Structure 1
């Protein structure tokens, strides 16, 4: 029998995709039911088609909320991007996925704008300890799924931004089935590479998996390219009530002519030069080597009691040599900005960290349709970071021993050699950080009513070159869900978050120490899974306030101690509505759409600005409107599927207040599957739209979106 999982070749930037994987309903009907809708025979071969949106692009439980919960029974708003979706998109790194999540858009590197706020920290398997230190972007080869928890998550995960939280769940050995696959890829911009994965049960409750990934690719920016190697191993032991997973991973990434900044723009938000322009020399680089070791234990010693504990160690080193744009200028006096001053930076960052987290869950029926789950947990993180750097700024004219300026319109590379620079000594910064949290979360179900409440206490410590700061903070979460019917739920939640002020900002002469930045959310909405999940939707409205942002005291140095004072009076408010829908129009045709409205504005500052923008202004890189769609049609008789998607982002402003113009891009792909063979052809930016993915500051410009590109990936499963 030949089985064809439908080809949802979504290599697109579709906001809507996760709806099918997000808080949308009860378990899908059995695969046999779906198969019966489009089952046929051809000379003894049976072709079974199962709906992607219903079977593969969604999960039946949300785990990022600590308590595994069916989406319709959760007050959280979570988007889950599954392994199948990652594969169908041919996604390689996190930036390939951001546009799949309503309320999330690209900001810079691994950072995003989430519900109006900048968010940069990533969790792995529920713990701190991102292996991609500094300015590298998470790769997806060894990732099983990506979970994005929207809104403040302080009660669940401790310090963090109020817009949301990414959690990358890594692949573990399967103890039941032997499997493996090999893939090869080739595409535009000199792209080539391949991967191999094997999973093998060993018997007696043991199993192993291993994977190797390598890819070499250029980028559309002059001089820029990347080479990525990931080696991943895992060993699992399941002795009945106890399972133990041991994992080890090496990440090795070489990025030529990085760290990449943007392309300068004018006051209308239009690029001043080609989107391929790069401020870096061919010899510049950003290289990362990161090693991770992790052990996880899961156990269910008695009925109703379960526990898990995970320990994670990460040792990462990132080295950068690059030329930073430091100031645009008119080189020939004709009134046109045509060049930039450059600064050479030589930097080394190392990070060694330990993370631990554990949870104990007791589930019990009380009486009748009343039941309760109680979770008690704790987590701890400690990290030592080392930074060594030096910089040397050039001038508007070529000067021996200094970086030369670079033309925007006719850049000439190779004339500036760091070996000839008169560089000074390195400066070194050592930072030690500790984060410890304990928390309690309770879920009470009374018939169709579900009540959730939690509280957490965090202690945190930072020591940056002898400047020590320590404090504690309490955060809360409350939620309510009412199952209107088996297919419709109404939900509401309130939650808080906090972020410690940096140790460098705690100078007592400036008025420190300062309380952490805080955030809270009020959110309510409706989730549906109609017609046995064939039409799924989520509608939610939220209001997030971020407070206690440090601002310069307009009174200046009130203590006459030579240091200008600071005040924690800044405030930003985000309000929004998000609507997602996914529908299996027919067994062979799926349509998804997502719309997000967001209004993030500065609501309090120091009366003299304090931010790059003013009170009442929209916050930087926070679009008001986002709209995404994706439609896929499959031809099961020939094993082929075709898909088209689009992504629209409305106008934004950069950190410097320059406009970031709206854009809409389209993507298309084809997937062909027959037996163990699978081929994916994907074209990104189908009509070669020139656009800015996000804005930064005026001297570095806007980050340009990639021009049209294509690749072919061929795989074999065994």
Structure 2
């Protein structure tokens, strides 16, 4: 009932203003105000009409309505109005886009259920991200996107295998900053203050240097207290950007860019919401803790439950989590050049770019307390394109692309009595050649064909140690020897090193255990098994077999597309396309695991689309509709289980079918009233997926088919893909009241999402319930729009829903929710 009330309130508010506003405006109107209304409508490009939005999604500038692909485009103003302050908020900008904020830089993106829980750099994202035309190799780079001084953000829905290449099976996000303007001195300054002591400051200045040279400088800083009671889920981010544009001739353009972002604070965490049973055969039985969803991972309430939880097989109690141990120190930066040369026959574009990042943070999950991670990497890429402009009926985009990266990774997936330490270097290179050509059969009918050939090479080399405290009845003579667990009281009475040092250096573990008097002096990481000095238990490190591991593999794949376009009228486009998407295979550090091995295969999507883009009623009504059918083969699914009595993070391959309808309507009902509707129906289900674990340890909500080849086996066919709500609906209203020489603009939007799965355990507890949210903003600005003052409230009805869940080997269940109600004021000055 509460959801029905919220939806009624949100939609009712929008409808009431929509109906009342014309009369209100008429009552207040004077001749000056009427003139102002006419002036306002003229600024939209067509009297009383809608804006023309220019996009570059197909590697050339064109109208959004002329681009024969499904795409959402949002301006900097719309991003600010929607309260988008970090990558975790991106799920609010498109019904097709889902976001998993995994803590620290571990944000994962999904489009129509296609994506990946990218928790380490051995995994590629299924949704490609591009900053200013440069592909970002690591999914974690989303954490480095601070949304300020942006020209727009483009969301390309569906595989983009031809123009964007690998790792764009779900689609593409293009982050496009404002560029320098020659001969123009301009800029802006914006400040914001809100609850949770939110402070946001951003600005930019465009300075002409000579007739053919200009620079643009921009910066942003955002900070606020944590949404959780323990201070976690906070925000602290600072970004700077500098660009120089040189136009020595009418044909030649050079643009140099630099950007840097620093992210700090404690980072986002969930709250300990409950426990799953560890009784064999009953692992999906759930007991809630009853603590508040905003408690936080290191709160007193969460710790009160943790210290009563046993971590097997040591039977040691979990220690509390200290908030002092939670932090994130993240930085992202890069340099790039864009060279553009205009020929009579077309345009040559060359973009060399270098980027680096550093991520030092702790990860908190169900059994992690906390897990330290240090990761750093750099990438180099260069893309060269030629976009033809021939007089004849054939034109296209032709290009070459090269990319290479190297990443250093050190992590301790610290689970108190279990501590897998992985230290490695991974990377590789990729090159591709591509072309996309359009044939104008007639003035109204076009055929579009494209192809891309890609070669990928990947490697990983490093060490994998697994530290484990055990409570055996008899001390095993060697690592991995069979043992039995005695009665609980006997284990609990032993003296175990339950709290191991949270370090990424394996020798530090050994030295710490020696210093604590737990294991014999002189022990090394190669000894394997260490009898405890105080007690009959033991300590195992599977270190000798995990040192000096190396894996490498390569793949060669073509991707292609075929499309037809037909102009029903000058303002109505009908199109149909087929496109093949490809996500590169990967390498792993060990050859064991569920569906795992030293490498895993690529995944593919065959996407069929039919759509239409239209403008009606004198360019005041826009109706875009698309139907899609995707066949998803070899889907890379990396999940947590227990294999050979040790935690395992293996990769399985599944198949899925994805189909649905996408509708986007924008209506300029009057020169001062604009209404918007975005709707998506989505049917995204697994056709085949097999998950496995040690017998009696699997905790999956899929069908348990018993023990197969020594492993408990679960068949997950028919399960919905992650972050794929069946119904997604966004409503928006913008109403301008003309008050003499001032405009008062009211903006409201409401979003509905049906329930959606958030975790690969596929349990009912990891399902995010349906929800409705609403945001409101009121802005006052003069007719010349040189300044503005806004008051806003986001998530006005304080609707809360799960955005991320984690289930640990101890059965602990953590969940993170969307931000609560936030509100504040914002002021902006343009010059």
TM-score (norm 2): 0.70
1:512-591 to 2 correspondence within 5 Å? 515-549=601-635, 570-591=654-675
In structure 2, the residue matched to 1:714 is 827
Query: Is 1:355 aligned to 2:346, yes or no?
Result: no
Q: 1:147 to 1:174 in 2, by over 3 A?
A: same
Find the residue that maps to 1:162 and give its secondary structure.
coil
Query: Is 1:429 aligned to 2:471, yes or no?
Result: no
Range with bigger deviation, 177-186 or 273-282? 273-282
Find the residue that maps to 1:712 and give its secondary structure.
strand
Q: 1:275 to 1:227 in 2, by over 3 A?
A: same
Contact 1:621–1:694 (CA<8 Å) still a contact in 2?
no
Q: 1:568 to 1:391 in 2, by over 3 A?
A: closer
Q: Which residue, 452, 455, 458 being the options, matches 2:451?
A: 455
Find the residue that maps to 2:134 and give its secondary structure.
coil
Contact 2:413–2:420 (CA<8 Å) still a contact in 1?
no
Range with bigger deviation, 356-365 or 456-465? 356-365
In structure 1, the residue matched to 2:706 is none
Shift of 1:47: 8.0
1:441-496 Cα offsets, whole Å, 9 max, x none, are 10112210011100100011111113111121000011111111112221111001
In structure 2, the residue matched to 1:246 is 256
Higher-helix-fraction structure: 2
Find the residue that maps to 2:78 and give its secondary structure.
helix
Range with bigger deviation, 537-546 or 85-94? 85-94
In structure 2, the residue matched to 1:305 is 346
In structure 1, the residue matched to 2:747 is 643
In structure 2, the residue matched to 1:235 is 244
In structure 2, the residue matched to 1:183 is 190
1:36-185 to 2 correspondence within 5 Å? 41=32, 48-50=39-41, 59-108=52-101, 110-118=107-115, 119-129=126-136, 133=140, 136=143, 138-185=145-192
In structure 2, the residue matched to 1:663 is 771
Q: 1:130 to 1:604 in 2, by over 3 A?
A: closer
Shift of 1:291: 2.1
Contact 2:366–2:807 (CA<8 Å) still a contact in 1?
no
Contact 1:551–1:606 (CA<8 Å) still a contact in 2?
no
Find the residue that maps to 2:57 and give its secondary structure.
coil
1:572-628 Cα offsets, whole Å, 9 max, x none, are 111111111010111111110111010111112349769987111212221100111
Query: Is 1:287 aligned to 2:287, yes or no?
Result: no
Contact 1:251–1:290 (CA<8 Å) still a contact in 2?
yes
Number of residue pairs the alignment of both structures matches = 624
CA distance, structure 1, for counterparts of residue 31 and residue 95 of structure 2: 37
Shift of 1:363: 2.0
Q: 1:305 to 1:122 in 2, by over 3 A?
A: same
Q: 1:251 to 1:85 in 2, by over 3 A?
A: same
Shift of 1:70: 3.2
Shift of 1:120: 4.9
CA distance, structure 2, for counterparts of residue 76 and residue 506 of structure 1: 41
Query: Is 1:693 aligned to 2:803, yes or no?
Result: yes
Shift of 1:53: 7.9
CA distance, structure 2, for counterparts of residue 691 and residue 462 of structure 1: 38
Shift of 1:640: 0.6
In structure 1, the residue matched to 2:360 is 319
Shift of 1:696: 5.0
In structure 2, the residue matched to 1:705 is 818
Shift of 1:248: 1.1
Find the residue that maps to 1:48 and give its secondary structure.
helix
In structure 2, the residue matched to 1:603 is 687
Contact 1:478–1:494 (CA<8 Å) still a contact in 2?
yes
TM-score (norm 1): 0.80
In structure 1, the residue matched to 2:731 is 629
CA distance, structure 1, for counterparts of residue 420 and residue 134 of structure 2: 37
Long gaps (5+) in structure 2: 1-9, 12-28, 116-125, 276-284, 299-321, 462-549, 693-701, 703-711
Contact 2:127–2:167 (CA<8 Å) still a contact in 1?
no
CA distance, structure 2, for counterparts of residue 663 and residue 62 of structure 1: 32
Shift of 1:544: 1.1
Contact 2:451–2:560 (CA<8 Å) still a contact in 1?
yes
Range with bigger deviation, 291-300 or 195-204? 195-204
CA distance, structure 2, for counterparts of residue 521 and residue 142 of structure 1: 34
Shift of 1:317: 0.6
CA distance, structure 1, for counterparts of residue 551 and residue 409 of structure 2: 16
Shift of 1:131: 8.3
Q: 1:428 to 1:134 in 2, by over 3 A?
A: farther
1:386-422 Cα offsets, whole Å, 9 max, x none, are 1112344337xxxxxx9xxxxxxxxxxxxxxxxxxxx
Query: Is 1:652 aligned to 2:756, yes or no?
Result: yes
Contact 1:361–1:374 (CA<8 Å) still a contact in 2?
yes
Contact 1:40–1:48 (CA<8 Å) still a contact in 2?
no
CA distance, structure 2, for counterparts of residue 271 and residue 80 of structure 1: 42
Find the residue that maps to 2:273 and give its secondary structure.
coil
Q: Which residue, 435, 438, 444 being the options, matches 2:433?
A: 438
CA distance, structure 1, for counterparts of residue 557 and residue 272 of structure 2: 41
Q: Which residue, 292, 303, 308 being the options, matches 1:274?
A: 292
Over alpha carbons, which structure has the higher Rg? 2
CA distance, structure 2, for counterparts of residue 572 and residue 505 of structure 1: 27
CA distance, structure 2, for counterparts of residue 645 and residue 611 of structure 1: 45
In structure 2, the residue matched to 1:485 is 569
CA distance, structure 2, for counterparts of residue 52 and residue 542 of structure 1: 35
Range with bigger deviation, 216-225 or 63-72? 63-72
Find the residue that maps to 1:621 and give its secondary structure.
coil
Query: Is 1:390 aligned to 2:450, yes or no?
Result: no
Q: Which residue, 217, 231, 234 being the options, matches 1:223?
A: 231
CA distance, structure 2, for counterparts of residue 551 and residue 129 of structure 1: 21
Shift of 1:517: 1.0
Contact 1:59–1:80 (CA<8 Å) still a contact in 2?
no
Range with bigger deviation, 219-228 or 60-69? 60-69
Q: Which residue, 218, 221, 224 being the options, matches 1:211?
A: 218
1:316-375 Cα offsets, whole Å, 9 max, x none, are 11111344321xxxxxxxxxxxxxxx4221211101111111111222233xxxx22122
1:640-688 Cα offsets, whole Å, 9 max, x none, are 1112211000012332222321010111110111242211211011111
Query: Is 1:380 aligned to 2:393, yes or no?
Result: no
Contact 1:132–1:138 (CA<8 Å) still a contact in 2?
no
Query: Is 1:364 aligned to 2:390, yes or no?
Result: yes
CA distance, structure 2, for counterparts of residue 44 and residue 70 of structure 1: 29
Find the residue that maps to 1:84 and give its secondary structure.
helix
Q: Which residue, 664, 672, 691 being the options, matches 2:780?
A: 672
In structure 1, the residue matched to 2:122 is none
Contact 1:641–1:671 (CA<8 Å) still a contact in 2?
yes
CA distance, structure 1, for counterparts of residue 53 and residue 714 of structure 2: 43
CA distance, structure 2, for counterparts of residue 460 and residue 617 of structure 1: 31
RMSD: 3.3
Q: 1:476 to 1:183 in 2, by over 3 A?
A: same
Query: Is 1:594 aligned to 2:695, yes or no?
Result: no
Contact 2:657–2:684 (CA<8 Å) still a contact in 1?
yes
Q: 1:624 to 1:131 in 2, by over 3 A?
A: closer
Contact 1:53–1:582 (CA<8 Å) still a contact in 2?
no
